[in-house]
Amino acid sequence: MYSTDYKKILINILENEDADKSLMDLSYHEKIEIVWETAKLVKDGDILLGLRIANLYKDVTDEFDNQYHEMIVKGEEPRIITTVRGAICWLLKDIIANFDTSIYDEVFNLIEYFSRSENLYIRQQAAVPLGMFSGNLRAVKTEGSNDYIIDEELKVKVRSLVFRMLIENCNYPRVLQFVIHDFDRMRDLNEKEALLLLNTVFYTSDELELQPEYLTKGAAPFALYYAEFRKDHYTPFAPEKFIDFIYELIKNSSNHEYLLATLIWNIWRTIKEEKTTFPRLIKYINKFFDYQMDNDAISQMLFLIENSIDEYPAESIDLFVKLTEKILEGSARRKDNNQLILFSVGKLLNKINLTRPELILDLAKNLIQIKRKGAYIDGISILREIYKKLPLEQQPFYDSIITELIDDEGLANG
């Protein structure tokens, strides 16, 4: 039966006097389809029908509910929505998006109801519509006015529920994976609240281990925001504890390859979006060199250096030199024996040759050693051009290096 058939079924049932009973008599699969069809009608403005269906079906359960609950307990991820209550949570999101504030209290009560479910999958899904509220706590009805979409009383309830879900699900990272998005636009946390958020999403409840990478990778931007940028937007705020938090997180991430690379990537992305942030973030960049880096982290560090070298050549060149030394000293490790690939080296060498040519010889020596360890070095053929432009008396110092670097077809292309 096609989706359009369910719309007809829904419309026909609603014309009956005992419509609610008829809707409840439908099969479980039909109920799910009714919820999705209702969501389409809600987007067309029929929010009262949406509320009616949500209230009618809020206690409908099925074997999939328990199946998904067990998956979340095990740390697995249910990827599809095939439950009635899960679909209702997304229906509530669509209802909120109509911005009819007259029904917000009723919608919130439904979200709170689902958030208290013993079923972890339903709690997880409840975080979706809750994020619509938390993301609009400071939204106004008209630009420049103080007439907020969400009234003060509901704001307090929303913030309270967001934090309650954070605390009550601290041992269920698959639930927290959804809850952290409720904080995406709720950035005015005070120091106590922000530390609670960071400690919960990065560390297990006993604070002995990092949370799984599927959670921490989504939480990484929060650490950087509260250490460096929160004080710029809402005052007062003392960032010192959060700077120390990142230092400790970098240290603890040295044995968690994906998180380490994710932290570097977030710093790279921040600098890419706003170049002037480089000077305030260099202290974190340097901290990564105190610990081990795997191939992914090295690649992200190279992207960061490449992105910064035009505006901050001195600091970026120093970072590149340190990175080659880091690889050579053996504190950079391979992941699953994958080949280390150094991207954009040609661009960096060209920039270094133009600004600090005295470093080229030592860098070339480092690169030949890295190549001997099995790495592929992208763009290394630029050394051929550098070599050709050297004074004749300097060329002998480069002969052996150029021969081994350039003539290896597995190393350089062109």
Q: How confident is the model at residue 1 (pLDDT cuts 50, 70, 90)?
A: very low
- For 317-343, what is each residue's pLDDT tens digit? 999 999 999 998 874 455 555 788 898
Pairing between strand 332-333 and 376-377? unpaired
- Does the pLDDT of residue 403 top 90, yes or no? no
pLDDT value of residue 200: 97
- The model's pTM is 0.89
pLDDT value of residue 390: 72
- Does the pLDDT of residue 400 top 80, yes or no? no
- For 77-110, what is each residue's pLDDT tens digit? 987 888 999 999 999 999 999 989 999 999 999 9
In the structure encoding, which two tokens stand for residue 385, read together?
Answer: 């051009």
- Average of per-residue pLDDT values in the chain: 89
Element (H, E) at 54: helix 47-57
- For 192-208, what is each residue's pLDDT tens digit? 999 999 999 999 987 77
DSSP string, 56-85: HHTT---HHHHHHHHHHHTT----S--SHH
At 16, is the secondary structure helix, strand, or coil?
coil
- Does the pLDDT of residue 412 top 50, yes or no? no
Closest by CA to 250, choosing from 206, 214, 301, 205, is 301
Q: 12-16, 47-51, 144-148: lowest mean pLDDT where?
A: 144-148
Query: 342 - beta bridge partners?
Result: 377
Q: Which residues are within 8 A (CB) of 160 and not within 5 positions of it... i.e. 6 or more apart?
A: none
pLDDT value of residue 414: 36
Mean per-residue pLDDT, 104-132: 97
Of the two residues 230 and 256, the one the predictor is more confident about is 230
Burial class (CB in 10 A: 0-12, 13-18, 19+), 85: buried
Distance of alpha carbon 321 from alpha carbon 317, whole angstroms:
6
pLDDT value of residue 2: 44
pLDDT value of residue 401: 63
Mean per-residue pLDDT, 354-378: 87
Mean per-residue pLDDT, 134-144: 81
- For 63-73, what is each residue's pLDDT tens digit? 889 999 999 99
- For 239-257, what is each residue's pLDDT tens digit? 999 999 999 999 999 888 7
pLDDT more than 70, % of the chain: 91
Cβ(276)–Cβ(246) below 8 Å: no
- Does the pLDDT of residue 176 top 90, yes or no? yes
Most confident range, picked from 3-17, 228-242, 362-376? 228-242
